[in-house]
Structure 1
Amino acid sequence: MLTNPIEIDLSLRAILKKHLGPLKLRKDDSSGMEVSGTIPTMQGKQKVDGFYFASVIPKPKDTRLYFFPIYTDAEAFNDIAPELRKCLKGKSCFHFKKVDDNLKNSITDMIARGIKRYQNKGLLDKS
């Protein structure tokens, strides 16, 4: 079980980095990591070079995962694991103080589902 926020941060970054291709890094430094799509699109009223997907932000007492698909397509994530749902604070921000293998698997599955959902909507490459 991971309890150190730095280890949790590294674990979440690794999960997202497995999806580089459909996702690209916008930022990856000590203050956090941000990934987006690679297809130019409109996000609100602004044209962007890729639709925002997720961020990992390390904090002193926890690590936060901002996961945009759960905000834009909430109905597709109604059935996420209860232990993952418990970490959701607000509409799209997960706070992780402890991550065991079951929770890590749930996070991995949720991210993969978000990728597939955004690919089906044409927001991410299908590579």
Structure 2
Amino acid sequence: MENVEEIRQFLIDSLRSHVPPLVVKKDNPQVFEVAGGIPAMQGKQKVDGFYFGSVVPKPKDSRLYFFPIYTHPEEFEFISPELRKCLKGKSCFHFKKLNEAMSTEIKQMIARGIDVYQKNELI
């Protein structure tokens, strides 16, 4: 995949496949956001659902903000160097193109995030 819109839709579909336990918080052309569906502490405040991730389209790439890699980095040390190169900062992946191997790995990473958050009673 090299089309930014196609990548964006793949990322949204990958997150949406985990609804429930995730809940869609925002779904518009600027952002697709999912969070947990149970009240939880996020930092020092109680929230309706713990933030999990979002997809934000940009003119030259699609971005996946994936909070589990920020909150539990030790659980994602397995990601490939190819995927890790797309990680900018602590939790934001920038995708200009995706091959089948990376697409599979992204799905596995999201599923691992679900498992980690369920185990920690965040979603």
Pairwise same-fold verdict (TM > 0.5):
yes
Q: Are 1:94 and 2:105 matched, yes or no?
A: no
Correspondence for 2:108:
109
- Please give the secondary structure, in 2, of the residue aligned with 1:28: strand
Partner of 1:120: 119
Partner of 1:43: 42
Amino acid across the alignment from 2:79? I
Per the TM alignment, residue 79 of structure 1 is displaced from its structure 2 partner at its CA by 1.1
Superposition map of 1:1-127 within 5 A: 2-124=1-123
Name the SS of the counterpart of 2:60 in structure 1.
coil
Instruction: Give the TM-score, by structure 1 length.
Output: 0.95
- 1:52-108 deviation digits (Å, cap 9, x = unpaired): 000100000000000000000001101112211110011000000001111100100
Please state whether the residue corresponding to 1:123 is helix, strand or coil: coil
CA shift, 1:20, in A, is 0.1
Structure-1 separation of matches of 2:24 and 2:59: 23
C-alpha displacement at 1:8, in angstroms?
Answer: 0.5
Task: Tell me by how many angstroms 1:46 deviates.
Answer: 1.4
TM-score norm. by structure 2 comes to 0.98
Where does structure 1 differ by over 2 angstroms across 4 or more consecutive aligned residues?
none
Structure 1, unaligned runs of 5 or more: none
Query: CA shift at 1:35, angstroms?
Result: 0.2
How far apart are the structure 1 equivalents of 2:92 and 2:24?
19
Q: State the identity %.
A: 59
